[in-house]
Copies of this chain bind each other. A is one copy, B any other.
Amino acid sequence: MTALIYCPFPDAATAERLGGQLLAENLIGCINIGGPIRSLFCWQGEMGAGEEIPALIKTDASLLDRAVTRLEALHPYDTPAIMGWRCDSAGSGTAQ
């Protein structure tokens, strides 16, 4: 079954580069890179805000943990927000 990963990136070029890397390593099936988002967050007790580029990544449930771990290693942030979840239903052509 399919799984999805959501992760914001600092910019589109980084999202494309890391998405291409994960594709080349056969850890994901595709990455959808969106338009700019405005992010508000609380970090070490301080409110902050910034602009990021969101990406939604399709992978297989059996690869989810490995893809999240590899993306974290590649991501330029010290503590990137990387969130994955298994799907309950998918089109027959959706599997990797």
| Chain A residues near B (Cβ < 8 Å) | 2-6, 8, 12, 16, 19-20, 23-24, 26, 29-42, 47, 52, 54, 56, 58, 64-65, 68-69, 71-72, 75, 77-94
CB contact under 8 A between A80 and B86, given known A12-B38, A42-B23: no
CB contact under 8 A between A56 and B87, given known A30-B81, A41-B23, A94-B82: no
User: B93, A88: Cβ atoms under 8 Å?
Assistant: no
CB contact under 8 A between A33 and B39, given known A79-B93, A83-B87, A93-B72: yes
Rounded to whole angstroms, the CA-CA distance of A52 and B56 in the bound complex is 13
Q: Which of B30, B34, B40, B77 contacts A23 (CB 8 A)?
A: B40
